[in-house]
Amino acid sequence: MPILFLDFDGVLHPEHCHESKHFCCLPLLERAVRQVPECELVITSTWRLQYPLVRLRQRFSADVAARITGTTPRFTELTDVPDTLVGYEREAECRAWLWAHQVAHRPWLAVDDRSWLYRPFCRSLFLVNGREGLTSIASEQLAARLRQLL
């Protein structure tokens, strides 16, 4: 069962867009994850620092919200960051979540618009153009990547 670590800004809507456009790309993400019903979602977005999980889930359709199992820990609160992940905050947060939930063996993918938060050439990163957010083409590519994890 794959895990999708999900960023919001730059993925579910263009980075630095007006509030009225927030979550404009959400239907495309939901279409992609519905193609892989086994996929679990974990929120990595900085929105997790401002809003409780129950409020974040409310942004999603009920069927997708039910698959959101949590949020990653904050990097500054991690106590055992391997030297290879120092400087790659979001990847360290994802890996800490996997270890904390005893699922480090499960395949995972992170959809994000900021490559520098992950190690160079990270195979588990699905990079999105933050100026656009998730597009229809990228949504199909994301679904294909998730299916490969099965």
State how far the alpha carbon of 84 is from the alpha carbons of 3, 29, 114, 120, in Å: 22, 30, 18, 11
Q: Are 57 and 46 in contact (CB under 8 A)?
A: no
pLDDT band at 76 (very low <50, low <70, confident <90, very high): confident
59-66 average pLDDT score: 98
Q: Which amino acid is at 13?
A: H
Q: Which two tokens stand for residue 148?
A: 């490969």
pLDDT over 90 at 79, yes or no: no
Assigned domain for 57 exists: yes
Helices (H), the chain: 26-34, 53-57, 62-65, 89-100, 136-148
**Residue where the block lists tokens 């994000």:** 112
> Per-residue pLDDT tens for 29-42?
999 999 999 999 99
Q: Which domain holds residue 58?
A: 3-114+124-148
The domain total for the chain is: 1
72-95 average pLDDT score: 92
**Residue where the block lists tokens 């069927």:** 63
Assigned domain for 99 exists: yes
Percent of the chain with pLDDT over 70: 100
Assigned domain for 14 exists: yes
Q: What is the CATH number of the domain that holds 49?
A: 3.40.50
Assigned domain for 119 exists: no
Q: Which two tokens stand for residue 10?
A: 């730059």
Name the more confident of 3 and 79.
3
pLDDT over 90 at 4, yes or no: yes
Q: What is the pTM of this model?
A: 0.96
